[in-house]
Amino acid sequence: MGVGAMAVYVRPDHASADILVVTLVFGLVTVPAVVTWAAFGHVLRKALRDPAKVRVFNIAMALLLAASALPIAIGL
């Protein structure tokens, strides 16, 4: 994604400024996303201490994964 952004948004005659802008935008988007992802993982780890809850979670994730692949499998 970074290579694509650099190829599309960095103009040869303004490379330094454009690279700085692309880097700042990526940083502004990435930091909140990583913090949110880590917080969700922390909460999930606390919630899944019971093996029965882990099993239910794994089954739910497997069903969601299968459901997400279904449109590809049937050609939608």
pLDDT tens, 13-31? 999 999 999 999 999 999 9
User: Which of the four pLDDT bands, split at 50, 70 and 90, describes residue 61?
Assistant: very high
Chain-centroid distance of CA 52 in Å reads 27
Locate tokens 């239910």: which residue?
56
Which ranges of 12-75 does DSSP label H, i.e. alpha helix? 15-47, 51-74
Write down the pTM of the prediction. 0.60
The encoded tokens of residue 52 equal: 């029965």
What helix, strand, coil percent values describe the chain, rounded to 5? 90, 0, 10
- Can you tell me the distance from the alpha carbon of 72 to that of 33, in angstroms, rounded to the nearest whole number? 27
User: Can you list the positions of beta strands (E) in 2-74?
Assistant: none
Kindly state the average pLDDT of the residues 40-59: 95
